[in-house]
Amino acid sequence: MSNERPPGTSKDGSQQNLAAAERLAGGLPGLLLEADKVAHTFMKGVHGRRRVGLGESFWQFRPYQPGDARRDIDWRQTAKRGDAFVRQMEWEASQTFWLYRDSSESMNYRGYKNLPTKKNFAECLLLALGIVVLNGGEQVSLLGTSLAPQTHYNSIQRIFEYLPTQTTMAETGRPVAARSEVVLISDFYYPVPQLSAFCQSLALRGISGSLVQVYDPSEETLPFKGRVKFYDMEAPNGASYTLPQVEAVREEYERRFIAHREALGAAAKSWGWKFSSFSTATKPETALAKLYDDLAVKKGRT
């Protein structure tokens, strides 16, 4: 495990997120341990990696079939068995998963003291998913950073250390290669066309993806009463808005919230991507199970 620490790495709240993810994994100390436990539960009997392809390790012999290249025929086995046999190789090219969690100010919101902020929930989920993917023999990196794709379980510590350097949803640093998988975790509180400009360009290059919306329960139902002052966490000047009677707008607010979520799902579907939406009250294990299922389904189709 590397001792190198990227610029901006701290041991404050982010370190607590790492501990939470380890608890979610459940085998090592802290955040990574919990993620590891959940990961192994999901991986058991599910992630068979032996596939036919262009790897260098021998897998098996099988009878020759029309259309097979003559260069693939194993002449020694053919001579022994009397019939033509082809030498199949194990598929060894690991898929790379590029993970992203939104770190904008709106992600620091939480409406209930007993729940994590959206950012903490997102980081815990990202790290837990990273453990699952690494244990499955695939590669993991962080979108928009200089981190090279990581290949071993111990790399999760390095991924955690690079999280503070991930500040924008962009291909800065290292570009995403075709046939990779992108997982974007955010509240996505901005116009869908703005998101489409980025995601559709990836989809057109043969990159698969998943949108993972994270929200606080209070953002879905607007449970406040009476006169309420709201602050725009993204505005540089700290703009605020006061509603004299919040109940008067609740129905319209809920309608718009649902409409935006549906628009995100429709956009993802149009790119051939997956969409999931989780409240921070959701058990991380439940969210991880859903994400793993989505990713496993897509890999099974490739």
Residue 297 has pLDDT above 60, yes or no: no
* pLDDT value at residue 282: 94
CATH architecture of 13-47+94-301: 3-Layer(aba) Sandwich (3.40)
Average pLDDT score, the chain: 79
CA distance 235 to 239: 6
The alpha-carbon radius of gyration of the chain (Å, integer) is 23
pLDDT digit string, tens, across residues 55-70: 445 556 778 765 556 7
Q: Comparing 141 with 47, which gets the higher pLDDT?
A: 141
Please name every residue paired with 114 in a beta bridge, in sequence order, or none if there are none.
none
Would you give the end-to-end CA distance of the chain in angstroms? 32
CA distance 116 to 216: 9
* pLDDT value at residue 5: 45
CA distance 130 to 150: 10
* pLDDT value at residue 13: 61
Confidence band of 10 (pLDDT split at 50, 70, 90) = very low
| Residue ranges of the chain assigned to CATH 3.40.50 | 13-47+94-301
The mean pLDDT value for 14-31 works out to 53
Confidence band of 80 (pLDDT split at 50, 70, 90) = confident
Strand 139-142 versus strand 240-243 pairing type: unpaired
Cβ(98)–Cβ(142) below 8 Å = yes
Among 209, 207, 180, residue whose Cα is nearest residue 269: 209
Which of 11-20, 57-66, 207-216, 293-302 is the most confident on average?
207-216
Spatial neighbors of 168 by CB under 8 A, at least 6 apart, are: 144
The mean pLDDT value for 200-206 works out to 94
The amino acid that residue 286 corresponds to is T
Question: Quick one: how far is CA 115 from the chain centroid?
Answer: 21
Q: Among positive and negative, which fits the CA dihedral 114, 142, 168, 170?
A: negative
pLDDT digit string, tens, across residues 68-78: 567 778 888 88
Helix (H) or strand (E) holding 35, with range, is: helix 31-43
| DSSP letter for each residue of 54-78 | S-SSEEEEEE--TT--GGGB-HHHH
Lowest average pLDDT, out of 55-69, 77-91, 229-243, goes to 55-69
pLDDT digit string, tens, across residues 133-164: 887 778 999 999 999 999 887 788 889 889 88
Residue 14 has pLDDT above 80, yes or no: no
